[in-house]
A and B are shown apart, each in its own frame.
Chain A
Amino acid sequence: MKEILKLTLSLTLICAIAGAALAFVSYKTAEPVRKAQEAQRAEKMLMLLPEGTMTVDPAIDHEFNDDDRLMSVTFYVAKNAAGEMIAYCAEAVDHSGFGGDVKVLVGLNPDGTVRGVLVSEHSETPGIGSKVCERSVAKSFWSLFKKSQEAALMPSQALLPNDYLDAFTGKPLPEDGFNLTKTPASHSLRDIKPVSGATVTSTAVINAVNRVCSAWHHFTLEFEKK
């Protein structure tokens, strides 16, 4: 009995010291970690924005709150060297992903057409939901022996392909949002085909994009009034 007590106490002591040390380091690195994440987000945004973008600032006046869930969409304004507004970027979150939150970045032209969609944060199942979220180059066995095209080693600024996310590119943001359907009408600008087997993740991404849609129309209305 005495021995068990001794073993438990020494283990508890070591765990307590370890916990205290971790809490201290976590507290000390919280600020740099936040900065690093912000820089990472800015880098991702630049992929969606046109060349010549000099500054990306949050459009503070236009934070939009979704009525039913109070989820905000944040707009960022991209300006070129001359200070002219050349594009927008919007960030939205949806909580209904298979692994929790799915955070989406949408690059927008000033007229409201989509420049590109990027999932910036997700924890979907690797190999299933991640097919919806991650842009990557398909690798085949033979690519091992060929001169590889992939830029696995170098961080590239170019957007890698993803069939689902690329379906949004070039389409105007519809007022009622995009429509997820297995049988898209051939010329429809609203219909998006989900990735089979990953319907939940596809829905989460489209929900987030649709939040941007409704926010955008709200936003432009306000903009016209001014």
Chain B
Amino acid sequence: MKLFKTLVNGLWKENPVLILMLGMCPTLATSSSAKNAIFMGLATTCVLAGSNFVVSCFKSIIPDKVRIPCFIVIIATFVTIVQFLMDAYVPAALVKALGIYLPLITVNCIVLGRAEAFASKNGPILSLMDGIGMGMGFTLILTILGAVREFIASGTLFEMTVVPHWQGFALLRFAPGAFIVLGIFLAIRNAMKIRDAKLHGTHFDPPSELNCTTCHICTLGK
């Protein structure tokens, strides 16, 4: 039960993009089409699940003082493995479209953030579940974002024409469009939270995980 709860945690309740606001850079840059978005999301999921698992396994032998370099080495290894695999089995045009953002998964805040905040405190299986859940949450939002942008920009979904003779609005294919669509997503998410709170007769507060006084990642709030 706890495993399942950890798994779905990342999908909505602690969604890395919408709630934790982590990994904004690849979110904005690689969601220009649904296909790019889904592959970027899957690549990140692989890295996240792998690094969470390995970090959790090694957490007892990693000294506290050098934990960040150790995490980065583990994450970078998984990123390089994913890159090898993508070079070998994924069309070159797609790898080119993801470009620099693929190697940059190494420094993606989601991956390091989960290694630090979750995997270094929990068991391997639970960490694996958390990695998969967080990755799926990232992939889900990225794909929806990519689908909306691609549809409005060129009237296609996964490169298949949905509306023939669509006039096209290329702005959404570029960075400004990404900001606009993501902003709308965040507004929808906040509206849903506020409505939920009203129905339960409470007041909407940001999740306590994000609150500086309860979070233990850095020491800013102390």
Of the listed stretches A15-23, A67-75, A157-165, chain B binds A15-23
Interface stretch, picked from B23-31, B69-77, B184-192, is: B69-77
- Looking at chain A's contact residues, the main secondary structure is helix
> Considering only CB atoms, which chain B residue lies closest to A44 in the complex?
B92
Task: State in angstroms the CA–CA spacing of A10 and B70 once bound together.
Answer: 9
> What 0/1 readout, one digit per residue, does chain B (59-102) give for beta carbons within 8 Å of chain A?
00111011001100110110011001101110011000000000
A146 contact set on B, CB distance < 8 A = 170
- Kindly state the separation between the CA atoms of A216 and B93 in the bound complex, as whole angstroms: 32
Least Cβ distance of B90 to chain A in Å? 8
Q: Do residues A14 and B73 form an inter-chain contact, with CB atoms below 8 A?
A: yes
A40 to B91, CA, bound (A): 9
Contact indicator A25/B74 (Cβ below 8 Å): no
| Residue interface mask A142-159, B partner, CB < 8 A = 1 | 011111100011110000
Interface size class of B (residues with CB under 8 A): 20 to 34
- Does A33 lie within 8 Å of B61, measured CB to CB? no
* Cβ–Cβ contact A33 & B84, under 8 A: yes
Closest to B58 in A: A14
Inter-subunit contact B81/A21 (CB<8 Å): yes
Q: Does B167 contact A (CB under 8 A)?
A: yes
Residues of B within 8 A of A (CB): 32-33, 58, 61-63, 65-66, 69-70, 73-74, 76-77, 80-81, 84-85, 87-89, 92-93, 150, 154, 156, 159, 167-171, 173-174
| 8 interchain pairs, CB-CB under 8 A | A11-B66, A21-B81, A22-B81, A25-B85, A29-B84, A32-B88, A36-B89, A147-B170
**A-side interface residues toward B, CB under 8 Å?**
6-7, 10-11, 13-15, 18, 21-22, 25-26, 29, 32-33, 35-36, 40, 143-148, 152-155
Given A32-B89, A143-B170, A153-B159; 15 other pairs, CB 8 A cutoff: A11-B70, A14-B62, A14-B73, A21-B77, A21-B81, A29-B87, A29-B88, A32-B88, A33-B87, A35-B88, A145-B170, A147-B168, A148-B154, A148-B173, A152-B173
